[in-house]
Structure 1
Amino acid sequence: MSQQYLEIDRHSNHIRVSARIPIIDSDIQYIYGVLGVIPIVSGMALIVIKKARLVGTFNGHSIWTITETEIIPYKKTTLHLTEKQIWYNRHFTEMLQSVLATTGFYFSYSLDLSRSLQWLSENGTPAFKHMSMIDRADDRFVWNGYLLSQLRSVQGIDRFALPVIHGFYGEVHHSVNGHQFKLSLISRRSKYRAGVRFYKRGVSLDGHPANFVETEQIVETTSAHGRLTAFLQTRGSIPLLWSQRPNLKWQPMPTMKPSDDQLAAYVKHFELQRMTYGGKIVIVNLINQSGREKKIGDELDRIVQQANLSYVRYNPFDFHKVCQAMQWHRLSMLRDQLRHEITQFGYLADTDLTQRSQTGFFRTNCMDCLDRTNVVQAMIARESLTDQLLYLGILNVGQRVETCADLETSFKHLWADNGDECSRQYAGTGALKVGKRYCIKSAIESERIQVQLTTDAMDVFLGNFKIDVHNLPSSLEATLISLDQNGIALLAACFAMAMTILCVLVAENISATLFWLAVFLLCMMFIFINGEEFVNAPKLKND
């Protein structure tokens, strides 16, 4: 047991790290770490990691995924709350629990998971390495950053509180040509502009895109020399100001406001990317060049040309048109377009003899940055992995990843698992994979029912919406059917449909049947035209 203890005064909310031995008869729970504290309606609450599972190791550092958490209110009862406040307290607690129950939260006691190996190799000064992980972590990827905000000033808190990333980690061990090595994949999902599909699209005015994920592929040899290589690429929503609000259509139409300054948002985004990653950036745009996606693609093409950034190259590729009917072999056309830059950009290499850095990065997107993006990122990663293994002397000249059957299978599974996790976190469903297709239609209704809770829950968890007991949001109390024009339209449609059926079954008056049928169709037309008003949208924060 630790010789230090984290003390929290339930009445004053004061927090300190103490060496005082706790009271012997107190209730003792063993935890894996502290996620942080957050205000709810009843007062402050502590969030702890109750259970975690070891998922792998990197360079001797253990990596864990969270499997169970607990929210511990400072106040033991809610007797001091009104009935309305109790409802809000329970509702906000359920929101937090829904976020904490999702998969894909990772932490390490000794390794900064929020930083790529490339960044650490270039910026990991001795002074930086002596900082606590809370202080040195990349804020973009620390999903409990808001929960930690009130703990940062507590001396010694780093022994208890841990920065946590959201994304994916997986690893496989292999032997090729007698050489042992480990292939790892880590994805870090940005907390900026976090949300779910359709409700979070494009970039914000400060340059942060929706569904931005940084994915790092690492090869680590198991020899005494400890040689490793790493290749980094990113995905993110199309870097323009656009939206695709859900309505009653299967695929809502993407929209852009003529008044929005698309050029400024685009340039701001890539300035941030340049500042963070350096080097050249290749935009791999996979959206359709016809149909509903064409408008967004044309605007991106126009802005790319207008901005004319010297460090950005634009590479559009109509994935669905080229690879229709599952002709995945035609991806070789895109591979050939990118192959020169895959070689030119290289990868991070840290060996006994040499050290090299990756000099450019691929930024891939489709509409959701999910299925098409997963396939293309895996293709780019496979090309780089071949280069990495040749550099390390694991593959012989002329060999490729796909010529090693076991390695190719493990590679596909690793990237498929990564794609599934990214899809679940943004869309609520697994990815569509070659040879193992998931039926999204069967899950779409439950996804749309949960989308409001999920988006609102993320905003509460990340601190985008702060709970104020004196100003509780009345929007949460709103029901889908209320006595406004939308509620009346729904009730009128149901009544008109019932009357139409009744007239058909009972009455012989054709005019009455036609009248109620016309009323029903008019109500449905009103509902369809105003579809966005009838979707259970997020209520706490407008985008």
Structure 2
Amino acid sequence: MKPIYTRLSLFVNRESYTFVPVEPLGAQSLTLDRTTGDIVLNATHTSVPNTSTRYGKTVYGILGLIQLALSEYVVIMTGREQRGRLMGHDVYRAVEFDILPLNPNVSIQNPPHPIEGHLLALVKSHLNGGHFLFSYSWDLSRRLQVQWEQKDAEETKALWEVADDRFFWNKFLQSRLIESEIAQELSAYILPIIYGTFDLRLADVRGRRVQLCLISRRSRFRAGTRYFRRGIDHEGHVANFNETEQLLLVEGSGQVSNDNFSDKLSFVQIRGSVPVFWGEINTMRYKPDLQVMDLETTVEAMRLHFKDQISNYGEQSLVNLVNQKGHEKPVKDAYERALAQIEMPEVAYQYFDFHNECKHMRWDRISVLIEKMEGDLANKGFFHLSSNQPEPSRRQLGVVRTNCMDNLDRTNVVQAALAKWTLTLQLRRLGIITESEGVDDFEGFSRDFREIWSDHADSISKAYAGSGALKVDFTRTNKRTRKGLLEDGYKSIQRYIKNNYFDGTRQDAFDLVTGAWLPRTTFTTASSIVGDHRSLIIRSVPYILGFALFMITAGMTLPRTSDYSLFYYFTLWFSVAIIALSFMVINGIQYVAWPRLLPPTELIYYDGPGFRSAHHGKGFASAKKVPMADSFATGGRKRGLTVSRIELELGDKKRQD
């Protein structure tokens, strides 16, 4: 595998950025021309321009370049923390980033245009809020089995060439380097990162030293937040798709090194949104409106999705945890209808009524699902590579794909249970534990297992829903507790607030950094990105409500002349508060912080075949008459209408016909 530079010195002047490897000395430096944008790989031992000054921080990697409205920017990593050492390879988390403009007339601190400032803020928030992992010498984007199968063909390739395209999170940022004519020569500068989790624990089981490692990889396709990315797209990509790999590394007898292991075992699971066209529409109510779209392309999109999964993993065992009653039932029904039409023998379906089976905190009932799937799990197996054999003794022939509505809380519980069952089987096959023993019989090892799966669940949940996972107390302690129930209530409130009032900006950041929205090629009104085009009455009602609440509070604390006068005072302000709050609930869609770059207008105004639970939050008019494009659809499309478009070009607004 071609090496990647681990530390770079950066030299800056008005004409160029020059990156010089700290080691080896004299290696080819990289220059980015700030005038033309050209990428130049200099000859060895090339001197730095005399006019350049050294940047104040060490650069640990170039994440790539991104074009915004007024300038192109280079994104660099200036801080990292080591997360562990896996099979002799250091694994890091990127923790600090700098964004540098190529245009010398653009300032990061004081952007020359509000649109540029807003887009820069989106990039910064995404970098600072994500969980990005990388290794200079190990491909974190691919599971162990794939790396072993392709090792002979990849000895002379670079990390970016072999990285899994789904999990190469900064692939869009790196596209300028990858698509250049000298991409091969630039390989030492192209650092792939993943968005996911990594945890590694060292333990002792029956005198054998083992490492337990958990890695999750989040797909960059259809990436986003809980309510703004659901279901499937026409290319077969689903929202919140994550691959989770559990590694068990076992030292041989007499070994003292933590880098070489006699046995390496891998078990992979996946999760992803229900692969039909559906979504939930925020209306300020706790439970959003459910929209299932019965499109002609649903079956074909699902077929594309499972073809891709089969080509990557083999046979698919689908575990569906969506409720068969109430709010979630239409999603389950749509899933099963489409699944019955794809006619793919490699796909097997298993439904588990999680809430009914595990009600009254009987979470031990997960064992019912495990018992149903034991034969399937055993057949699909796991990957096992032994140091005393030239070929793997086992390969994983298929994968379990688990989903609930969010692919978070119930999915986490089930995936952890499947992982524990497989881990027990692996330890038995290695002869480390007996057939009558399990992971829970070894307290220290069991605690490590529970902790890494609980932390993993929290991290995936924060990335998608904005809070830690629910039901995680069961994974962490092996039982459901009342304290965990209270914590879940607090997390649910967190999710409600973030999903309604903050996730629109987070979704915009995902769309910008992954390349789903392109500033140079996407036309939009400048005011739609940073302005508020809601009517005056819509904007004023929250202030009226706030003032009414202030007056009520004041009436409770200020001196009063008589109780009689106080009655009319409170009647007035309570009436104002109730009217204002009712108005906001009736027009709830107007008060949700929707994404501005790619707003979900078509989902909200869909009127074709399918299912719609309600039309809340759309005012007193019918759903077809609400002027959403004027209120929140900011640069998107209203059904049947085209929004006027203005191109951003060097800070000027150039009107398009």
Fold match by TM threshold 0.5: yes
228, 253, 258: which one aligns with 2:289: 253
Residue number in structure 1 paired with 2:197:
168
* Aligned ranges 1:70-469 → 2 under 5 Å: 70-78=98-106, 85-122=112-149, 124-152=150-178, 153=180, 154-155=182-183, 156-223=185-252, 226-278=262-314, 280-351=315-386, 352-353=388-389, 355=392, 356-432=394-470, 433-434=472-473, 436=484, 437-438=487-488, 439-444=490-495, 445-468=497-520
The answer (yes or no) to whether the contact 2:115–2:526 under 8 Å persists in 1 is: no
Which of 352-361 and 452-461 deviates more? 352-361
Aligned AA (1:35): L
Partner SS state of residue 324, structure 1: coil
38, 42, 49: which one aligns with 1:14: 38
Pick closer, same or farther for the CA change 1:300–1:7 going to 2, 3 Å.
same
Whole-Å separation in 2 of the counterparts to 1:225 and 1:508: 78
TM-score by length of 2: 0.75
Question: How many angstroms does 1:484 deviate by?
Answer: 5.8
The answer (yes or no) to whether the contact 2:271–2:402 under 8 Å persists in 1 is: yes
Query: % of aligned pairs identical?
Result: 31
Whole-Å separation in 1 of the counterparts to 2:433 and 2:212: 14
Pick closer, same or farther for the CA change 1:417–1:492 going to 2, 3 Å.
closer
Pick closer, same or farther for the CA change 1:383–1:518 going to 2, 3 Å.
same
Whole-Å separation in 2 of the counterparts to 1:371 and 1:452: 22
The answer (yes or no) to whether the contact 1:241–1:260 under 8 Å persists in 2 is: no
38, 41, 53: which one aligns with 2:81: 53
Partner SS state of residue 500, structure 2: helix
Partner SS state of residue 332, structure 2: helix
Pick closer, same or farther for the CA change 1:527–1:121 going to 2, 3 Å.
same
Question: How many angstroms does 1:79 deviate by?
Answer: 7.8
Pick closer, same or farther for the CA change 1:321–1:12 going to 2, 3 Å.
same
Deviation per residue, 1:78-109 (Å, 9 max, x gap): 3899x995212221111101111124201111
Question: How many angstroms does 1:496 deviate by?
Answer: 9.5
The unaligned stretches of length 5 or more in structure 2 are 1-21, 253-259, 478-483, 556-562, 601-657
Partner SS state of residue 106, structure 2: coil
Partner SS state of residue 338, structure 1: helix
Deviation per residue, 1:302-356 (Å, 9 max, x gap): 2223334211111111212211232111111111111111111110111123512
Aligned AA (1:467): P
Deviation per residue, 1:117-166 (Å, 9 max, x gap): 122233x1533332211122111111111110001124422212201100
The answer (yes or no) to whether the contact 1:201–1:242 under 8 Å persists in 2 is: yes
Residue number in structure 1 paired with 2:599:
542
The unaligned stretches of length 5 or more in structure 1 are none
TM-score by length of 1: 0.91
Deviation per residue, 1:470-520 (Å, 9 max, x gap): 8664311232x7326744766787899999999x9869999xx79x99998
Deviation per residue, 1:256-287 (Å, 9 max, x gap): 12445432222221111112212x21111112
Partner SS state of residue 452, structure 1: helix
Pick closer, same or farther for the CA change 1:525–1:342 going to 2, 3 Å.
same
Pick closer, same or farther for the CA change 1:492–1:66 going to 2, 3 Å.
closer
Deviation per residue, 1:413-453 (Å, 9 max, x gap): 01001101100110111112116535214423245322111
Whole-Å separation in 2 of the counterparts to 1:261 and 1:180: 52
Whole-Å separation in 2 of the counterparts to 1:166 and 1:461: 12
Partner SS state of residue 231, structure 1: strand
User: Paired residues, what number?
Assistant: 536
Pick closer, same or farther for the CA change 1:79–1:368 going to 2, 3 Å.
closer
CA RMSD in angstroms comes to 3.0
Whole-Å separation in 2 of the counterparts to 1:277 and 1:100: 30
The answer (yes or no) to whether the contact 1:142–1:191 under 8 Å persists in 2 is: yes
Deviation per residue, 1:150-195 (Å, 9 max, x gap): 0112442221220110010101111111111111110000010001
Partner SS state of residue 289, structure 2: coil
Deviation per residue, 1:15-42 (Å, 9 max, x gap): 1222312247621431111100111233
After TM superposition, where is structure 1 displaced by more than 6 Å over at least 4 residues in a row?
Answer: 491-502, 507-510, 516-523
Partner SS state of residue 405, structure 2: coil
Whole-Å separation in 2 of the counterparts to 1:48 and 1:497: 47
Partner SS state of residue 176, structure 2: coil
The answer (yes or no) to whether the contact 2:100–2:108 under 8 Å persists in 1 is: no
Aligned AA (2:593): N
The answer (yes or no) to whether the contact 1:253–1:292 under 8 Å persists in 2 is: no
Partner SS state of residue 119, structure 1: helix
Whole-Å separation in 2 of the counterparts to 1:51 and 1:79: 22
Aligned AA (2:300): A
Whole-Å separation in 1 of the counterparts to 2:234 and 2:564: 58
Partner SS state of residue 230, structure 2: coil
